[in-house]
Amino acid sequence: MVVQGHSILSSLLKSDSQAWALSIIVGGLSILAGNYYWRRANQAAQGARAEETVGATLNQLRAYNWTIEHDIPVPRWGNIDHLAISPSGKHFCIDTKSGKGTIVLKGHELSKQYGRKIYPFPKGKSILKAVKGQAGQLQKSRAVTWVKPVLCFVGSQVDQSILNTKVQGVLLTDVHSIASILQSMSVHQSLS
């Protein structure tokens, strides 16, 4: 809005140059905020697609008398992406993770490797602790004795030295292996 040849912004500030500077700063911050929320929305969409992919793979186990549930709310731990219950009653609490890079074990935590650089998961989040917490809560709420926490990766490569193995009691697998490894574990006690 223009008041007697000046914009409201410039009339509030001491000079037109201050008004321009403030406009540039506000515009820049708006662009940064928009970028941030755009990336977050893309990550959420990518995660949803990955969950759908894993869900479709797990649903194929229904032909072998498995019970498959999706998106189960869990107090304190958000939600369980998938629950697979074998015909013998073994429960598998599955958390889906999507992204790029290679999943590697660094110390006692999982990290992502891009080329030679290794990065921890965002915000210091322990994805191992989270899926174990979900499995423990599920075990209590459903009064079952056997719940195996599973991390299933989509889009990322999993370092072959840790693919289909346990790390801190959590099975690490990918969407290509999950159905066969769960069927194997439901019959044998391997990886339990």
Identify the domain containing residue 34 by its residue range. Answer: 2-39
Task: Output the CA–CA distances (angstroms, integers) from residue 115 to 4, 40, 97, in the order listed.
Answer: 60, 23, 20
In the structure, what pLDDT confidence band is assigned to residue 45 with cuts at 50, 70 and 90? low
Write down the pLDDT at residue 37. 53
Do 175 and 121 have their domain in common?
yes
Report the length, in residues, of the chain. 192
Query: What is the distance, to the nearest Å, from the Cα of residue 172 to the centroid of all Cα atoms in its chain?
Result: 14
| Top-confidence residue, 169 or 37 | 169
pLDDT tens column, 6-38: 565 555 656 666 666 667 776 666 666 565 555
Give yes or no: residues 33 and 74 share one domain. Answer: no
Co-location of 13 and 33 in the same domain? yes
DSSP conformation letters of 118-143: EEEPGGG--HHHHHHHHHHHHHHHHT
Same domain, 93 and 29: no
Digit-coded pLDDT (tens) for 71-127: 999 888 888 999 999 999 999 999 999 888 898 988 888 888 889 999 887 655 688
CA atoms 174, 178, 180, 183: torsion sign: positive
Q: What is the pTM of this model?
A: 0.73
**DSSP structural state of residue 86:** -
* Total number of domains in the chain: 2
3-state secondary structure of 116: coil
Same domain, yes or no: 27 and 66: no
| Rounded Cα–Cα distance for residues 140 and 122 (Å) | 29
In sequence order, what are the beta bridge partners of 135? none
